[in-house]
Amino acid sequence: MDWGIHLPHLGRQVDRKTLMGFAKEAERLGCHSGWVSDHVCWPAEIASKYPYTDDGSFQPSPDMGWLDPISTLTFVAACTEKLRLGTTVLILPYRMPVQTAKQIASLDVMSDGRAILGVGVGWMAEEAAVLGMPWDKRGKRSDEQLEIFRRLFTDAEPEFDGEYYSFPKVGFEPKPVQKPLPIWVGGSTPVAFRRVAKFGHAFHAAFQPRQEIVDAWSAIQRECEAIGRDPAELSLSLRIYLDPAQAMQKSKSIGGSKDEMLETIAACREIGISHLLLDPVARGGVPGRLDALRAFMEDIAPAVGG
């Protein structure tokens, strides 16, 4: 099992020293990867429903900080050596594809091949509107972006002529170090599952009950077979809360006693999950979350094995 950790790039304690110390300690503890989420701003009124809460609510405090994801990972790349660097997830409809490809390729080069491009189509129409980006057909737009990334990252003289984006032959250097650069696709719809099969190297689920993940994974495997792709080429990842203070929950968190945590992890492995992105929930701000991670990596992770 690989262990990812959500980095402290959001909240009320967002600064250079905190982020650097957390990332270095996560690497020392043996974490496989560090991850950042993607939001740019908070519209005062949000009618869109957040897909990962029971009531669809998502209303951060107006004074909560949230660092840019790609800039944050570039900073973390400079102060770590082995930690993989992922987005959970980068919202493709918020961005123009060629510029985004340049940022991702640059991150992979400057990190010596440690980037993981986690992608999604987003859920907050109001935020896209503030950014001046279209929200209609965002799934098809995102698919075109992923095809553009493939061409820019691999072709000597990439060009593209699609329904939503187009550009003539261009020079695009340097390419990412990783060939191919890993793309982890999030989402919970049939269209997202097709996107995983066509473009992904992993399905990156988030806060979903295990039965939903089982059903999604089966659907993705069928989509792979439909296009002649070997499903074994894909891996399965889950973002999950690490909440030691809470009793074991079978859906969204790892918590409770050591035995309860190990039981939850074993159930995840049983359905094919090979990467768990831990999102710590603990009192005491960032130091408290780091203590929770330290306890997990020193006591729970060694008992799980490889």
What pLDDT is recorded for position 305?
74
Least confident window among 60-64, 149-153, 289-293:
60-64
CA distance 159 to 171: 9
| Residues 58 and 111: beta-carbon distance below 8 Å | no
95 confidence band (pLDDT: 50, 70, 90) = very high
Segment 239-258 shows an average pLDDT of 83
Round the average pLDDT of the chain to a whole number and report it.
Answer: 95
Question: Around Cβ 241, how many Cβ atoms within 10 Å?
Answer: 17
192 confidence band (pLDDT: 50, 70, 90) = very high
Checking if the pLDDT of 194 tops 80, the result is: yes
What pLDDT is recorded for position 60?
81
Checking if the pLDDT of 202 tops 90, the result is: yes
247 confidence band (pLDDT: 50, 70, 90) = low
Query: Which residues are bridge partners to 2 per DSSP?
Result: 275
Tally of CA atoms within 13 A in the half-sphere of 136 that contains its CB: 1
The domain spans of the chain are: 2-304
Alpha-carbon distances, residue 270 vs 42, 236, 299 (angstroms): 38, 11, 21
CA distance 185 to 168: 27
CATH 3.20.20.30 fits 2-304, yes or no: yes
What pLDDT is recorded for position 13?
86
| Residues 106 and 155: beta-carbon distance below 8 Å | no
pLDDT tens by residue, 11-50:
988 999 999 999 999 999 999 999 999 999 989 999 999 9
What pLDDT is recorded for position 251?
62
* Token couple for 258: 């050591």
What pLDDT is recorded for position 52?
84
Helices (H), 69-209: 69-79, 97-110, 125-130, 138-154, 190-199
What pLDDT is recorded for position 254?
95
Helices (H), 9-137: 16-29, 69-79, 97-110, 125-130
CA distance 219 to 214: 9
CA distance 168 to 281: 47
> What 3-state class would DSSP assign to 41?
coil
Is the pTM value of this prediction over 0.95? yes
